[in-house]
Amino acid sequence: MMKRKRIGLLLTLLLFSACFLNGCNGEYFGPGVSDYNYEMSGGYQLFKNGAQDTTMTIDICDSFGNEVIGNRIMGIAWDDGFILASQKDSTTTKYWIIDVKAKKIIGPLGKSEFDDKKRNLNIDSKLTLQDPAKYKDLDSAANKQK
């Protein structure tokens, strides 16, 4: 009787633990769950899950696996200091800036606010938003945008 309780408790703990191993978007559950993911500056990562929709399941997560900017990431750019992202829903495009060093997330912003903020933060004008799929073959050792 005592063994059954222990086995039941062990199974419960394993299932509960699996929920935490799921990460930002299930990257720990094996192939097929994530189309691609890559690391950007400051431990932030981009995850693309699922093959059906090219925009609905792209998220940016922090180094702890917490979603920072969720779903519909259409454009991405980064350097050592900043990560830029655009996110589109059915009617609007929102823009985001992550100050990597300060661990500060700025957004959602409109286009003119985004451009003003980039100028105010002295973000390199060569840093332009690109399709996230452009970087899907990034090697973890080569995690800087060129």
Tell whether 142 is covered by a domain.
no
Spatial CA neighbour of 45 closest among 102, 85, 104: 85
Q: What pTM, to 2 d.p., does this model score?
A: 0.71
**Taking a C-beta distance cutoff of 8 angstroms, is the pair 49, 32 a contact?**
no
Please, which residues bridge with residue 46 across strands? 38, 60
**What is the residue-level pLDDT of the chain in tens, covering all 146 positions?**
566 666 666 555 555 444 444 446 454 444 444 477 788 989 898 888 765 555 556 788 888 888 888 878 899 999 999 999 999 888 899 999 999 999 999 999 999 999 999 999 999 999 999 998 888 776 544 444 44
Q: Supply the DSSP symbol for 65.
A: S
52 inside domain:
yes
Is 130 part of a structural domain of the chain?
Answer: yes
| 145 part of a folded domain | no
Residue 141 in domain: no
Q: Does the residue 70 lie in any domain?
A: yes
Number of domains, the chain:
1
Q: Is residue 99 part of a domain?
A: yes
Whole domain around residue 64: which residue ranges? 2-135
In degrees rounded to 5, what are phi and psi of residue 125?
Answer: -65, -20
- Cα three-residue angle 123-132-108, rounded to 5 degrees: 55
* Strand (E) or helix (H) holding 32: none
| Residue 68 within any structural domain of the chain | yes
Q: How far apart are CA 46 and CA 143, in angstroms?
A: 11
Instruction: Provide the 10 A C-beta neighbour count for residue 69.
Output: 23
